[in-house]
Structure 1
Amino acid sequence: MEIRDAHFPGRAPLDAYGNGGFRFAKMSHQGALLCVPSGIYGWDLTDPSEFSRQAFSKVFEEMADIEVLLVGTGMDLVPLAADLKDKFREVGILADPMSTGAAVRTYNVLLSEDRAVAAALLAVD
């Protein structure tokens, strides 16, 4: 038996967030999400202190198709570490940290405009 990481192939707006998870495409997911052009993935992070280049490796793999990365840092805005922000800038991605709620709303707007957007979202209660 093969066990796969949580993955929704394709892009979809996020219908709801809270209670430790997200709803999208008539499904729900508990925990953090990483929304990139290839799909929506479960993301095994719970706190902004866990942000690292390795944590964002999927974003870097798909950087050619991403102009803006919205980083939902939980209930409150937590700035990205300077070295991580520099790495995003180096590869041509505008990384914009904000509360998860603001990131979800902005992601949906940019997605509806067919923009090259990705989102890395920590779950909130």
Structure 2
Amino acid sequence: MKLHADQPDTLAITAYGEGWVAVNGQRHTGSLVVTSEGQVMAWEVQQFDHLTAEHFEQLARVTKEPPELVVFGSGSRLRFVRPALQQGLMTRRIGVETMDTAAACRTYNILAGEGRRVVLALLMDI
């Protein structure tokens, strides 16, 4: 599915499919983190079962100011991680929303387009 950004000065998910996303037209196939501050970086987690609390802790430190919200895309289907893995974010009062990758991409685009401090963490294990 092709998507169009409302605010062209922010990074946007411009397309996605099974096992990949395009950020501002550039295709990525591995797990990644996208911030509304303009960063795209690999997320060193390959499978849902390999997620740790440190993976989520990293998300609090990828932006200058802590994000308001982390949108976690769990892959092609919705899967929830144990709350203990997200405890560090919750302690910092950073919201966490879990959804499948397609929904996470759409949600990130809306929030980033509104100027919100949001981090998108996509797990690409198919």
Q: TM-score range by the shorter chain?
A: 0.7 to 0.9
Correspondence for 2:78: 77
The 1:19–1:80 alpha-carbon spacing in structure 2 relative to 1, beyond 3 Å, is closer
Q: Say if 1:70 and 1:97, in contact at 8 Å, map to a contact too.
A: yes
1:50 shift after superposition: 1.9
Residue deviations 1:83-117 (CA, integer Å, cap 9, x gap): 12322110111111110111000000001001111
TM-score by length of 2: 0.79
- Moved runs in structure 1, 4+ residues, more than 6 A? none
- 1:90 and 1:73 map into 2 onto residues whose CA distance is 22
TM-score by length of 1: 0.80
The 1:24–1:62 alpha-carbon spacing in structure 2 relative to 1, beyond 3 Å, is closer
Correspondence for 1:20: 19
Q: Any idea what SS the aligned residue of 1:54 has?
A: helix
1:49 shift after superposition: 1.5
Kindly tell me the number of residue pairs found equivalent between the two proteins: 116
Q: Which has the higher strand share?
A: 1
Correspondence for 1:111: 112
Q: Over aligned residue pairs, what C-alpha RMSD do you find? A: 2.1
The 1:60–1:83 alpha-carbon spacing in structure 2 relative to 1, beyond 3 Å, is same
- Structure 1: runs of 5+ lacking an equivalent: 1-9
The 1:75–1:26 alpha-carbon spacing in structure 2 relative to 1, beyond 3 Å, is closer
- Note the 1:33-72 alignment, pairs <5 A: 33-36=32-35, 37=37, 39-62=39-62, 64-72=65-73
Correspondence for 2:30: 31
